[in-house]
Amino acid sequence: MTAPVNPTMPPPLETARLILRPFEDRDRDAFAALVADPEVMRFFPAPLDRARSDALIDRLEAHRAAALAAFPALELKATGECIGFAGLHASVMPGTDAPCVEVGWRLARPAWGQGYATEAARADIARGFAPRAEGGLDLAEIVAFAVAANAPSLAVMERLGMTRDPADDFALPDFPPGHPHRAGALYRLRACDFAPDR
């Protein structure tokens, strides 16, 4: 099995309030600030310093340049500022090397509680399920993973109509056995179950 690819760099996607696009150098300060915030990074092993933040942007853009789906930067139309990322990313299923496309999000704290993650994810999922002839990825399924205790992230998955089968729960290798964040939840959404206008 090969990883699903975008045949070309996908064009930016617009929603009512957001633009989903590649990261640009002008995003680096805002992104570094959000990944340095311990509250944003509560369910990750640690906040990131500037070098690791820049390296993450570089990895995402290298992924995109290799024609793989990569978490898109989110630009707030009203201000032009980058508030984080949300959308599709070509990945592998936890604990395996089986390719999958996941949907994920990481937003600056002031951008929480306004529906931005769900709005962006829903638009990128619609593109993921669209036929290739319409610029989509023609995917049959999109997944999402999170620390099971990350209630805000699980709530986004549920708003998107994704469902969790406890049989898919997994252990996150980033955390040692016994750590409260080691338990991972996996949610799935099949193309036939997606309601773009929920």
Q: What is the 3-state secondary structure (H, E, C) of 68-122?
A: ECCCCEEEECCCCCEEEEEEEEEEECCCCCCEEEEEEEEECHHHCCCCHHHHHHH
Considering beta carbons, is residue 53 or 153 the nearer one to ligand COA?
153
Considering beta carbons, is residue 23 or 116 the nearer one to ligand COA?
116
Q: Report which residue's Cβ sits closest to ligand COA.
A: 115
Q: How many CB atoms lie within 10 A of CB 13?
A: 17
How many angstroms separate the CA atoms of 190 and 26, rounded? Answer: 36
Considering beta carbons, is residue 67 or 149 the nearer one to ligand COA?
149
Angstrom CA distances, 35 to 40, 53, 110, stand at 7, 7, 13
Minimal distance, residue 13 CB to ligand COA, in Å:
16
Minimal distance, residue 129 CB to ligand COA, in Å:
19
Residue pointed to by tokens 């016994």: 178
Q: What residue ranges bind ligand COA (CB under 6 A)?
A: 40, 43, 104-107, 112-118, 146, 150, 152-153, 155-156
Minimal distance, residue 138 CB to ligand COA, in Å:
25
Give residues with Cβ within 8 angstroms of 166, minimum separation 6: none
Considering beta carbons, is residue 107 or 143 the nearer one to ligand COA?
107
Considering beta carbons, is residue 48 or 139 the nearer one to ligand COA?
48
Phi and psi at residue 68, to the nearest 5°: -105, 145
